Chain A
Amino acid sequence: MKIQNSNFPYPPTLLTFPTLLTPMTPAHSPTPSNTWADRLAPRLWLGPVTLLGPAGVWLLVLLVLPTLLILEISLVPGLRLGQPSGGYGLGNYLQILQPVYLRVIWRSLVFAVGSTALCLLMGFPVAYWLALMSPQRWRNLLLVAFILPLWTSSLLRAYAWTTILRPSGVLNGMLTAIGLPAQNWLNTPTAVFIGLTYSFLPYMVLILYASLEKLDIRLLEAAADLGATPRQCFWKITVPQTLPGIAAASLLVFISTLSDFVVPTLLGGASSMNISRLIYNQFLGPTRAWGFGSALSMVLILAVSLAIALLIRYGDRNTVTEA
């Protein structure tokens, strides 16, 4: 924006005042182009560039360019490492439509939706208690206790679960101790649900906590005053008021569980192939089918982007950043 000197909203006395403004505007040269605002204006772009530049370059080199590379590779049908390739085409994408691969995608969705639902069912009461009922002085300590597992590697935590779930593990030990038959837990879809729910429950609780903590208690009092029972208060006030937080937490957990690799690999075994493991197998497995793997990656990127778009549209982003 260009500012005309004659209409410039600073009184002349301010411009001649010998303090902050003098270095920028010598009082003896009051020509139109020489006000400090005019001089500064062309350089205003410098600020954003300095602030956003490093992160921008980082994202460009390590995210945008690789994604474009994957997009290109995905469009080369039958591309295998070390083999001459043909021209561009949609063959890799058509290959995904084979029932065997659709089943993998379906299974990934079932893992993601199921463990998100489990996280929500278990996380909401905990977050509710933490935000509204727990003793004020213990609240921060309790929150830290909840975040603590996140400070260890997800790989280690998944390994820990293998010792619990394996045939001679802790869980079966407890079951046989109380007279129940031992079960085969490890390398089943059940183990994947347990592992995913365990891994992402803290995120769910944290985001829901941030949302519930902002709940205006006076609204609950107003509802009670108007005759609403505690149950009605919950469904008609608490849930609608925290819906953006619920959406944010659920979508975040959904995104994470949909693309998780560690838990299905370590706990799920051969029966729990999901899309991340399928992609891994295309790139590092014996077939080295980079073209097909890239197409699968593009599908996953698309699905996650869609979920993020929903998150931005409907979720309460403040609760995510606060958590």
Chain B
Amino acid sequence: MAQMVHSAAATATPAAQPDVELRRVVKAFGAEVAVCDLDLAVRQGEFFSILGPSGCGKTTTLRLIAGFETPSAGDVLIQGANVSTVPAHRRPVNTVFQSYALFDHMTVKDNIAFGLKIRRMGTAQVRDRVAEALRLVRMESMANRYPAQLSGGQQQRVALARALVNHPAVMLLDEPLGALDQKLRKQMQVELANLHRQLGITFIMVTHDQEEALALSDRIAVMNNGQIEQIGTPSDIYDRPSTAFVADFIGDTNLLPGRIDQPHPRQVQVTTDSGLRVLACMSGSTVAQAVVVSVRPEKINLSLSAPAAANNCYQGHISHLMYLGTHLHCVVRLGSGETLMVRHPNRAESLIGVDTAVYVHWAADDCLVLDAA
């Protein structure tokens, strides 16, 4: 269902101008280039995530949109207006900070009312808007507390309310759930998704948590070294990564370097460096000699006996085994010397242990050929 809602939001205004656009943006701090030649267009109403490892430039990108940094080159556009040199306090965006940055000398109510009072809104209207924001984040009973009297999750909600009460054109979220524990994180993810649906405004979230990005986003930009590796829907990114970095960063994957020896219209045969022959489908129009085959651990099947008519089928034995509740994480050492990570469902019949001889096999459609980095 979430998927349906996402696609509806994404296709509602297909031809409209993007809400946020970065054009060939460069940001350098001294000799260090944090963001390099970045092009980005975020559609109106979209939940857009910028995902990447720490130091990849994703937070700098968000700060460029918020106005805390000015680009060294290139332009930042918000709703069609070039705001590259407009200071933060005159941009129609609001930010939820990773550290929340709540004003600890003000009550929850005053924190939320801050932006409205700055804009000299009437007292009655401020009261109504604050009440509405408090209701949205379900914090009505905490209005008169101080931030120090709140738990992390409650502070997070106040930070959200303080931003959304201003009805910004774009909400910027900098690792919004980074400081919460696992369980609260999951719960807040649902609330974030609900808020986005209710408000219908553009959300741009920076995160290093791929699961969070996959769960919440309409589209994701994967960043590495100050550049965007790929922009696409969660399933684009996960199922059809365009680079080996994306395949490796999003989820776990086995990367087998090799060379194409038989190109077909839809499938290719690759001989890996260790001598395995792998039948795989092409990603995009990549035709290159040196390639990497990517196959995800959950796409690999394990069996004790030889499977009937399988394409990519190899013999090996289990060299490591981790019990993870929902599944078993196995490392299989193949006869050719390669090791593969395999995610095996935890079922009663899975009577495997370290040193068990097994067959691994997967369908050609379940692995990808990518350019060697």
Contact = CB atoms under 8 A, between A and B. Distances in A.
A216 B147 CA distance: 15
A225 B105 contact: no
Given A240-B105, A241-B105, A227 B89 contact: yes
B95 interface: yes
A237 B103 contact: yes
Contact of A219 (B93, B95, B101): B101
Contacts of B166: 226-227
A163 interface: no
Interface stretch (B111-119, B239-247, B269-277): B111-119
Contacts of A228: 89, 114, 118
A68 interface: no
Interface in A195-249: 216, 218-219, 221-229, 232, 236-237, 240-241, 243
Given A225-B89, A226-B162, A218 B101 contact: yes
Q: Which of A221, A222, A232, A243 has the most CB of B within 10 A?
A: A222
A204 to B, nearest CB: 22
Contact of A222 (B93, B97, B119): B97
A244 B166 CA distance: 31
Q: Which of B66, B87, B115, B166 has the most CB of A within 10 A?
A: B115
Interface string B84-109: 00011110011101010111010000
A55 B48 CA distance: 64
Contacts, number: 56
A137 to B, nearest CB: 13
Contacts of B114: 223, 226, 228, 236
Nearest to A227: B118
Interface string B55-70: 0000000000011100
B66 A226 contact: no
B95 A222 contact: yes
B105 A227 contact: no
Interface in B3-56: none
A225 B165 CA distance: 13
Nearest to A232: B118
Interface string B331-352: 0000000000000000000000
Interface string A93-130: 00000000000000000000000000000000000000
Contact of A225 (B88, B103, B119): B88
Contacts of B163: 225-226
A222 B118 contact: no
A216 B99 CA distance: 11
A222 B103 contact: yes
A225 B118 contact: no
A232 B103 CA distance: 14
A229 B118 CA distance: 9
A246 B93 CA distance: 33
B178 to A, nearest CB: 14
Contacts of B115: 226-227
A212 to B, nearest CB: 15
Given A218-B99, A232-B118, A237-B103, A225 B87 contact: no
Given A223-B114, A225-B66, A241-B105, A218 B97 contact: yes
Contact of B94 (A219, A226, A236, A237): A226
A73 B101 CA distance: 57
Contacts of A216: 101
A224 B103 contact: no
A240 B162 CA distance: 19
A8 B118 CA distance: 60
Contacts of B103: 219, 222-223, 237
A225 B99 contact: no
Contacts of A229: 89
A232 B67 CA distance: 17
A224 B90 CA distance: 8
Contacts of A227: 89-90, 115, 118-119, 166
Q: Which of B67, B97, B114, B119 has the most CB of A within 10 A?
A: B114
A175 to B, nearest CB: 44
Contacts of B66: 225
8 closest A-B pairs by CB: A226-B115, A222-B101, A218-B101, A224-B88, A227-B118, A224-B89, A240-B105, A225-B95
Given A221-B97, A225-B68, 6 more contacts: A218-B101, A221-B101, A222-B97, A225-B94, A227-B89, A236-B114
Interface of A: 216, 218-219, 221-229, 232, 236-237, 240-241, 243
21 contacts: A216-B101, A221-B95, A221-B101, A222-B103, A224-B67, A224-B88, A225-B67, A225-B68, A225-B88, A225-B89, A225-B95, A225-B163, A226-B94, A226-B114, A226-B115, A226-B162, A226-B166, A227-B118, A228-B118, A232-B118, A243-B105
